[in-house]
Amino acid sequence: MVTKPNQIPMRAVPGYYSSTEGIQIAIQTGADASDEDLQFFQQLGVEWAMVGVRNPEQHSLDFYKSLVKRFGDWGLKIYRITNLGVHNVPEITLNLPGRDAKVEEFKQFIRNIGAAGIYYNTYAHMANGIWSSGRAEGRGGMDARTLDLSDAKGHWAGTIYEGELTHGRRYSEEELWDNYAHLMREIVPVAEDAGVRIGVHPDDPPVYDLGGIPRCMFGNFAGYKKAMEIADSPNIGVCLCVGCWLEGGEKGMGNTPVDAIKYFGEKGQLFKVHFRNVSNPMPEPWVETLIDNGYQDMYDVMKALREVKFDGCIIPDHIPAMLGGPRVGAAYSIAYMRALMQAVNNEYGGPA
């Protein structure tokens, strides 16, 4: 009998996990990453990549295998493939026409990445995208995303959402929970068979009602707990975006990112972490910051990951734009994360 990756920690999957145990640092990039990009990632010392595939025609098993080989030639393993077509899907979240086709597309995507040797996927369950208010200046004039709830719009994959009712009417919590439960009934057996873990990303921002749609499942800790109970599978867990959790704040989310890490980590439900920071919690307008410049002490976040012996990937995310181009912010963030990781590992006598 073959033991599938869903039955054991990722580090124990032969040829899949890192040469180093414990917390792993990964980079985000695109399928069109140049050889120079891949060399840059080598220089940063990362072993994992989250690869975005923007061209819908490239979503096939053969293309995923080609990416695994190309990145592998540079010493990089692929942790996750991004497929916008099955991420933040209003047809699934709201049970709109075309839902069944989208669910089938999601199933085939999970089968394909598993067959390509990629055993994790991030899924977000937002019906009207990520909401922002444009850009703002951060430290030293950095260009960063901001949100003012009095003047915000949602966006996803080229679609803009705005107004009090983004989908023509107000939806109830019961409808949303029923639609989520339907997805879990369909996707869980496929994920378990393929050996793929699915981590659900928090709502961004975690505001109860945006455009007539309650963000009741992944906009607070209680909703997450209920969603995990409904899924009832070792293959369904959490992609914890620290930034989103901080946007909501302890009052809005029901606890802190550190609390959430300890709860989901100890239950084996923490699969991936977006390691980012913001200036302050809502309801006041906030701005995304570099890791060291927000209201959360990210050392405490890293320490919590080490305490629960987290053995998945953490990534820098939504990095504010610095002078010199995107590599500058990436290098700054990776270096800061690596220093924090080394500090907590030293405190605990080594990696988990």
For the stretch 104-146, pLDDT in tens is 999 999 999 999 999 999 999 999 999 999 999 999 999 999 9
Q: What is the pLDDT of residues 49-94, one digit of tens each?
A: 999 999 999 999 999 999 999 999 999 999 999 999 999 999 999 9
User: How far apart (Å, rounded) are the C-alpha atoms in residues 195 and 158?
Assistant: 32
Q: What is the pLDDT of residue 352?
A: 82
pLDDT value for 9: 42
Cα–Cα distance measured from residue 145 to residue 134, given in angstroms and rounded to the nearest whole number: 6
* Residues in the chain, pLDDT under 70: 1-20
* DSSP conformation class of 117: T
Exposure string for 266-285, b = 16+ CB within 10 A, e = fewer = eeebbbbbbbbbbbebbeeb
What pLDDT does residue 16 have? 42
Domain ranges of the chain: 5-347
Start-to-end Cα distance in the chain: 29
Per-residue pLDDT at 324: 95
User: pTM of the full predicted structure?
Assistant: 0.93
Q: Is the dihedral of CA 316, 67, 119, 19 positive or negative?
A: negative
How would you list the strands of the sheet with 24-30, edge to edge?
77-82, 48-52, 24-30, 313-315, 270-274, 236-241, 197-201, 120-124
What gap in Å lies between CA 226 and CA 229, rounded to an integer?
5
Query: How much is the pLDDT for 314?
Result: 98
Question: How confident is the model at residue 15, as a pLDDT?
Answer: 36
Query: How far apart, in whole angstroms, are the C-alpha atoms of residue 260 and residue 255?
Result: 7
Superfamily in which the 5-347 domain is placed by CATH = Divalent-metal-dependent TIM barrel enzymes (3.20.20.150)
CA distance 1 to 297: 46
DSSP category for residue 321: B
In this structure, how many other beta carbons lie within 10 angstroms of the beta carbon of residue 326? 12
